[in-house]
Amino acid sequence: MAKFKGNPAKMQQGEMAGTAKRLIKSLFHYYKWELIVVMIALLFSAVGSTAGSVFIGSITDECITPAVQRIAQGMAVSESLDLMWPTLIKYLIAMVTIYAICIFATFAYTRIMANVTQGYLKNIRGEMFSHMESLPIKYFDTHARGDVMSYYTNDVDAIRQLLSQSIPQIITSVITLTAFIVIMLYYSIWLTLVIFVGVIAMFALTGSVSGKSAKYFVKQQKSIAKTEGIVEEMMNGQRVIKVFCHEQKAYEKFKEANDELCDDGTKANTYANILMPMMGNLGWIIYVIVACVGAVLVMSGANNVSLQGYGEPLTVGIIISFLIISRLFTMNVSQTAQQVNSIIMGISGAYRIFKLIDEESEYDEGYVTLVNAKYDENNNIVESEERTGMWAWKHPHQADGTITYHKLTGKIDLFDVDFGYNEEKIVLHDVTINAKPGQKIAFVGATGAGKTTITNLINRFYDIADGKIRYDDININKIKKPDLRRSLGIVLQDTNLFTGTVKDNIRYGKLDATDEEIIEAAKIANAHDFITRLPQGYDTVLTADGANLSQGQRQLISIARAAVADAPVMILDEATSSIDTRTEALVQKGTDALMKGRTVFVIAHRLSTVQNADVIIVLDQGRIIESGTHKELIEKKGKYYQLYTGAFELE
């Protein structure tokens, strides 16, 4: 499938056609036979809707007109009606049969199309979410969450309207119009030309108005995503907004986006709303013209020209049929024109969704995996199906096809690492770190020095620009990312709790953890005490990112989550920055037990928490300027000494 690039608000005709083709292909991929049945049902429904005009003309010419003529010639009314009834009943039975089939076909296609639409939306949402989970962290750093959410709301809803309403309406209208054209040409080419002239004017009007409204409908869709992004941002930042009395400024930012949305929506709907009345009035004008031209032709006795031949005069029944057809024809043209904006919005929504699906997934070239291991009778490391508490790297060698196992010890080395979020700005320079198994490595430095960036490179949220990172002497590029990250327990400064029980949130670190393991992890993190005092203890439901807990309690649950993962390497990214001094003392005891026997990387906000680190690394503007133990660095009286003696808080 083709991949689309660029701004959805500036879609070209080729991109629209490509998106529509891909959407249809995707639909048939999921619902081939259902759509074939829908097409057949639409055909019956559309053709059935044209039958009325033909029957009314035939009834007029074959039943009503002859009956009136017989009465005018002196035949009794009852006798004339008796002669009319057999033909009339035949037509009525045919009409009832055709309309019954039409009703059944309409019911069938609407029911099937409802299932197809909702099923397709379920599949496309699933495909979006599945692919979104595979995207690199960089994507979410560069895209507003509100804009991403708009894919699942506005864009999906635009596709829903396109599939459930616009496409069936367009197909029905095309089939109906085709049938009407054939019928009109069969009865009278002259009157057909009259309708065609009017319809050409309708299409010209539609093209002019719809082109302008479509442009603003696409802009409106983009403005909705922008506005929703601002609303979500303001909701997440309500505490900050209120603390700094930023309400008015936040409102002004929202108002600017809201005004833009209002302007785009007003222009889009202004053009869209005037189209239907204009088309309706033009349809009535065509109706009057057909009536006048038909009356003149009938009264003048002019010879008719049609697919049946030349020479037969027009009848009253044909004129009546044409009047009905002219209304139905122009109504179908109007309804089709009304769907243009929905089609544009639906294709625009599909374009944005396909663009998300086409985003390049996180690249993973690794082939070394993490497995449960044990020693065999010969003291060799072998793979184990059971959890043994011992981990090993399973390393296939492509050269000779052999597999070797290396015990996971937690040794991590960085050699001359350079990194930049883009090529123009390098944020880490020549970083070399040697973390031995079981060591506690602490990073200190001012905000923006590169502390968190280093840990993001270890777990491969980002890839280095130059240098090497080795994990147990294996290049981390060779290790599969899920296995690499499974070996790392991480406690972030920003705690994220999910809707669910306390137990579920702790179990997030290890999905198959038992209740006993969860309680033990909570005790290690010193969270057990406060959890047992919650209304339902471990079964207390947390919502809104744990809004019913204090910041310190939320962080304790996050630490318990890392504890239950029981990873051999721990990364604590300012894990105690949101915890008060008393709670910090409790957490420190828990984390000391948690860190025992593990390699630990600590990003410290309070220098008091890293005094017992084996190595303290001081960073400044992406460079390591000092490293050593607390005692060694104090004796050097360098940057660390200044930080330590100047303030215990790094601002």
Q: What are the φ and ψ backbone dihedral angles of 473, each rounded to 5 degrees?
A: 65, 15
The secondary structure of 308-370, three-state, reads CEEEEECCHHHHHHHHHHHHHHHHHHHHHHHHHHHHHHHHHHHHHHHHHHCCCCCCCCCCEEE
Of 22, 30, 29, 346, the closest CA to residue 168 belongs to 346
346 or 315, higher pLDDT: 346
For residues 293-311, average pLDDT:
69
Global pTM value = 0.71
Position with higher pLDDT, 299 vs 24: 24
**Helices and strands (H, E) in the chain, number of each type:** 20, 18
pLDDT in the model for residue 306: 63
Helix (H) or strand (E) holding 381, with range, is strand 381-383
pLDDT of 630 over the 50 cut: yes
- Per-residue confidence band for 63, with pLDDT thresholds at 50, 70 and 90: confident
The answer on pLDDT for 141 being more than 70 is yes
The strand ranges marked E within 59-162 are none
- Statement: residue 538 has pLDDT above 50: yes
Give the Cα separation of 506 and 334 in Å (integer): 59
**Residue for token pair 């809004």:** 547
State residue 313's pLDDT score: 67
Lowest mean pLDDT across 60-69, 416-425, 511-520, 569-578? 569-578
- How high is the pLDDT of residue 650? 44
| 157-209 pLDDT, tens digit each | 889 988 888 888 888 888 888 888 887 787 778 788 888 887 787 777 776 66
What percent of the chain shows pLDDT beyond 70? Answer: 86
Residue 135 has pLDDT above 70, yes or no: yes
> What tokens were used for 596?
């025992």
Give the 3-state secondary structure of residue 139.
helix
Residue ranges of domains in the chain, CATH in brackets: 12-215+274-357 (1.20.1560.10), 369-407 (no CATH), 412-646 (3.40.50.300)
pLDDT of residue 399: 76
Are the beta carbons of 451 and 427 closer than 8 angstroms?
Answer: no
Q: What amino acid is encoded at 151 in this protein?
A: Y
Give me the pLDDT at residue 154, please. 84
pLDDT of residue 418: 92
The DSSP bridge partners found for residue 372 are: 391
How much helix, strand and coil, in percent to the nearest 5, is found in the chain?
65, 15, 20
Of 561, 488, 491, the C-alpha closest to 531 is 561
pLDDT value for 645? 79
With CA atoms as reference, report the closest residue to 441 among 616, 608, 296, 285.
Answer: 616
Residue with tokens 């204090």, as numbered in its chain: 550
Res. 627: pLDDT tops 80: yes
